[in-house]
Amino acid sequence: MKKFVLGILIAAVMIPFGLAAQQGEMGYIHGDWEISGSRLYQNNVKTSIAKAYLAYPQEGMVEYNFNVRLEKGLWEDGHAGVGIHLFVDRPSRGFSWGEGHSYLLWLNYDQSPASNAIPKGLSAQVYRSEANHRMVLLQSFDLSAVEKVVMNFPPDTLLPVRITADGRTGLVRVYDPLDASLSYPVRLGNTRPLKGSYVTLRTNSGGFSFGY
């Protein structure tokens, strides 16, 4: 099993950006990204799409481990989102809601969602990106039952993220951040084995930091 930890991304973004971009290994798309200490920060709370991508081959069983913290933005407009694109074939180099061919696992808080498919308050979505400007919503989950618990976390809480994905079967397991023995299965619905060359972190209308 391949294992992706955010420490790999932190190390990569410390490379001078010009060199890294030239090698095509990593980059930022919109947002205000910076390294501080051992964490990667996205500080722009106004941008609806901010991405940081890293070259990372994925095939077969892959595990993703990192933590995320909301820094600012939720209380200003009642909306914030954060997620990760898995099995990205080629990341976008410009503003786009899709990310090549990939799958987005998304955690969303929205007091006034624009779509009836998105529950009000805390929710999670799984999207299939078919092109840089074409995304398909596969599943949506209402997380209102855990919203009060999450909202009572101290402001400096680091939310652990552990995800396993089987590119052969499309079975993804998202592990409970409060009880590591629990996991929630998600089916991507792919009809052929998935491969990816990149992983992309993504934020919407909020300042977040990432670490491990």
- Give domain status of residue 18, yes or no: no
> What is the average per-residue pLDDT within 178-201?
95
CA–CA distance, 106 with 143 (Å, rounded to integer):
12
Residue 17 above 50 pLDDT?
Answer: no
* Residue 173 pLDDT: 98
Neighbour count for residue 146 (Cβ, 10 Å): 13
Percentage of residues in the chain having pLDDT higher than 70: 91
- Give domain status of residue 187, yes or no: yes
Predicted model pTM: 0.91
Residue 24 above 60 pLDDT?
Answer: no
* Residue 18 pLDDT: 37
- Give domain status of residue 114, yes or no: yes
- Give domain status of residue 33, yes or no: yes
The CATH number of whichever domain residue 98 belongs to comes to 2.60.120.560
Mean pLDDT, rounded, of the chain: 89
- Give domain status of residue 20, yes or no: no
Report the candidate in 91, 178, 164, 85 with the shortest Cα–Cα distance to residue 125: 85
* Residue 10 pLDDT: 61
- Count of domains in the chain? 1
Residues spanned by the domain of 59: 2-13+26-211
- Give domain status of residue 21, yes or no: no
pLDDT band at 114 (very low <50, low <70, confident <90, very high): confident
